């Protein structure tokens, strides 16, 4: 079975902190994605990566950065956390053109 | 902005009835995918339809795709209470690896 693992299920951080959300997949997938999900807004794409060290901005990249140094790992970084970044964060991976496999999500609260 | 827009936002039906959800999108696609999300969980892939296909079936699911109208529909036949969930369409854009989701349809199936 494909497994996408997010490092934390729940996270509470303070305003201004640098926050790292980690995602690891075990299927040698080329594509990896970070989304945030808020009530009534569906899933919004933050960043995605189509290969190691390659990344592209999604629809809402402001306040975020990403890192993909190894194929299996895709990290989302909140440079200086703010309360409006309180959300559910979902990581996904897939083979090129295929279906996406999702992690269990990280519910981040910024206080 | 969201690539896919689902309609309706919410749907409530009785067990045994059929449920139809629609998705419209804006750009050229390689394929369109439908996902399901139970409350507070990650998304699970249901079905993928390629841009050169018009209809696809999987069990009680039927998906249609009209690329001229840039729209798709998901039909769940003989619905069950266990089908209660949020359903999302996602577009695999032809211009690259981007996978973009809509806002989802909340389906409630009453016993």
Compare all CA atoms of chain A with the CA of B1 and give the residue at the minimum distance.
A59
Looking at the complex, does the CB of residue B92 fall below 8 Å from at least one CB of chain A?
A: yes
Min Cα–Cα distance to chain B from A69, Å: 18
- Half-sphere exposure of residue B21: CA atoms within 13 angstroms, side-chain side: 29
pLDDT digits (tens, 9 = 90+) for B28-80: 999 999 999 998 788 999 999 999 999 999 999 999 999 999 999 999 999 99
pLDDT at B3: 61
Q: Does A46 touch chain B (CB under 8 A)?
A: no
Question: Using 50, 70 and 90 to split pLDDT, how confident is the model at A54?
Answer: very high
Strand-pairing partners, residue B6, are B23
Q: Measured between beta carbons, which residues in chain A are less than 8 angstroms from residue B103?
A: 40-42
- Closest-CA residue of A relative to B10 is A40
For the residues A27-37, what does the mean pLDDT come to?
96
């Amino acid at each position: 079975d494909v497994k996408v693992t997010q490092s934390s299920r729940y996270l509470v951080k303070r305003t201004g902190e640098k926050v790292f959300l980690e995602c690891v997949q075990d299927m040698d997938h080329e594509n990896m994605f970070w989304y945030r999900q808020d009530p009534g807004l569906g899933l919004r794409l933050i960043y995605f990566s189509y290969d190691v060290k390659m990344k592209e901005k999604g629809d809402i990249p402001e306040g975020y950065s990403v890192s993909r140094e190894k194929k299996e790992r895709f990290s989302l970084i909140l440079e200086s956390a703010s309360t409006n970044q309180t959300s559910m964060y979902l990581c996904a991976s897939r083979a090129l053109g295929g279906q996406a496999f999702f992690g269990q999500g990280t519910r981040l609260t910024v206080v | 902005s969201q690539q896919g827009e689902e309609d309706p936002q919410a749907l409530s039906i009785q067990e045994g009835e059929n449920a139809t959800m629609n998705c419209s999108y804006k750009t050229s696609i390689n394929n369109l995918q439908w996902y399901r999300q139970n409350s507070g969980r990650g998304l699970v892939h249901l079905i993928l339809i390629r841009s050169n296909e018009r209809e696809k079936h999987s069990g009680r699911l039927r998906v249609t795709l009209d690329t001229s109208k840039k729209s798709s529909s998901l039909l769940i036949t003989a619905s069950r209470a266990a089908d209660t969930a949020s359903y999302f369409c996602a577009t695999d854009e032809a211009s690259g690896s981007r996978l973009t989701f809509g806002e989802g349809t909340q389906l409630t199936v009453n016993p």
